[in-house]
């Protein structure tokens, strides 16, 4: 996690497949508490947030969604790419009970970089899932838990 003190707008990008089973609650909880991938934001820093999915494999739709968002931010709030940071949801970047990381992770990051927006990998980080990743449990069998 890097410090993100200057950014004003957080965009959480979730896996289009996973959100068919997940409300995104733990991503939002972590954001609200400034935990996990959001721990680098200073307490009290006013931040807006918005959630979107990658648009489905291979994630190509994400660039258009972000471009649309940036266009609206520029037009209505005079905000630019440097004011925005994308957090890729942990279920997309980390081995977890939903499955291995997204096979298109590098492609998604390339698309985001092309918009000029910074990207951070991770949102909610569960201690239980961290233990399971370290022990290789996810690689052996599907389990239960959360990111």
Which residues are at the interface with ligand SF4 (CB under 6 A)? 14-19, 22, 24-27, 54, 56-59, 89-92, 102, 104, 123-124, 146-147
Minimum distance, C-beta of residue 81 to ligand SF4, in the bound complex (Å): 21
Minimum distance, C-beta of residue 134 to ligand SF4, in the bound complex (Å): 18
CB closer to ligand SF4, 67 vs 97 = 97
CB closer to ligand SF4, 20 vs 78 = 20
Minimum distance, C-beta of residue 1 to ligand SF4, in the bound complex (Å): 15
User: Which tokens is 25 given?
Assistant: 């609650």
DSSP assignments along the chain, one per residue: ----TT--EEEEEE-TTGGGT---HHHHHHHHHT-GGGTTSPTT---EEEEEE--STT-THHHHHHHHHHHHHHHHH---GGGEEEEE-HHHHS-BTTBSSPTTHHHHHHHHHHTT-EEEE-S---HHHHHHHHHTHHHHS---S--
CB closer to ligand SF4, 104 vs 132 = 104
Q: Which residues contact 21 (CB under 8 A, 6 or more apart)?
A: 98
Minimum distance, C-beta of residue 117 to ligand SF4, in the bound complex (Å): 17
CB closer to ligand SF4, 18 vs 73 = 18
Minimum distance, C-beta of residue 106 to ligand SF4, in the bound complex (Å): 11
Return the bridge partners of 53, or none.
14
CB closer to ligand SF4, 79 vs 86 = 86
């Amino acid at each position: 996690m890097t410090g993100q003190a200057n950014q004003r707008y957080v965009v959480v990008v979730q896996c289009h497949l996973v959100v068919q089973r997940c409300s995104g609650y733990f991503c939002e909880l972590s954001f609200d508490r400034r935990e996990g991938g959001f721990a680098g934001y200073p307490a009290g820093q006013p931040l807006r947030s918005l959630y979107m999915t990658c648009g489905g494999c291979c994630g190509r739709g994400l660039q258009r969604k972000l471009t649309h968002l940036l266009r609206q931010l520029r037009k209505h709030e005079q905000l630019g790419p440097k004011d925005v940071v994308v957090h890729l949801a942990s279920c997309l970047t980390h081995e977890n009970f939903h499955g291995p990381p997204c096979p298109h992770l590098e492609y998604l990051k390339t698309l985001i970089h092309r918009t000029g927006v910074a990207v951070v990998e991770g949102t909610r980080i569960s201690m239980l899932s961290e233990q399971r990743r370290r022990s290789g449990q996810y690689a052996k069998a599907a389990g239960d838990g959360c990111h």
